[in-house]
Amino acid sequence: MFDSKVSELLNSQINKEFYSAYLYLDFSNYFVEQGLNGFANWYKVQAQEERDHALLFIQYMQNNNIKVTLTQLATPEVEYIDHMSPLKAGLEHEEFVTASIHTIYDAAYQVKDFRTMQFLDWFVKEQGEEETNANDLIRKMELFGTDPKGLYLLDQELAQRMYNPPSLVL
């Protein structure tokens, strides 16, 4: 029998992961409108990852007979002042998701839910990578983004990103 607080937090995380995908698709759309298809690709791949994270949470819950409840997603409200705006909003969002996963981990720890803690271990590591990637993108934009040639080359680099589905075994 799963703890009700842990179950509630897991359900909430599913919706946060789907919102993350929705947010990154919004970023992708912004960059398409700006003619930066490499940045658009980078965020489209990011959206695919977030969708799969949500599906992993769903599968975990279903495997453990925990009721899954989906809620309506909010509309992303990012003000696109410049090309850096979505990048900084992305980092802020990843930090929010990391804190949320840590909250679930702590709740599971409090009730000695080792199965959920083990499941979350992969996400803890993944969030470290997500924050690093977001920080790296911001640093690259700070270095090259104000120079048209540098921005072009960075956009070309980001266009090469391909989606690699997570290999987490439930």
Using a 10 angstrom Cβ sphere, with 0-12 exposed, 13-18 middle and 19 or more buried, the burial of residue 46 is: buried
Instruction: Give the whole-angstrom CA distance, residue 110 versus residue 15.
Output: 23
What class has domain 4-70+80-159?
mainly alpha
Helix orientation angle between 148-159 and 37-63, rounded to the nearest 10 degrees = 40
Q: What is the pLDDT of residues 118-147, one digit of tens each?
A: 999 999 999 999 999 999 999 999 999 889
What mean pLDDT is predicted for residues 26-42? 98
Instruction: Give the whole-angstrom CA distance, residue 77 versus residue 124.
Output: 26
Q: What is the pLDDT of residue 145?
A: 87
Q: What pTM was computed for the model?
A: 0.93
Q: What is the pLDDT of residue 139?
A: 97
Q: What are the boundaries of each domain within the chain? A: 4-70+80-159
Checking if the pLDDT of 93 tops 70, the result is: yes
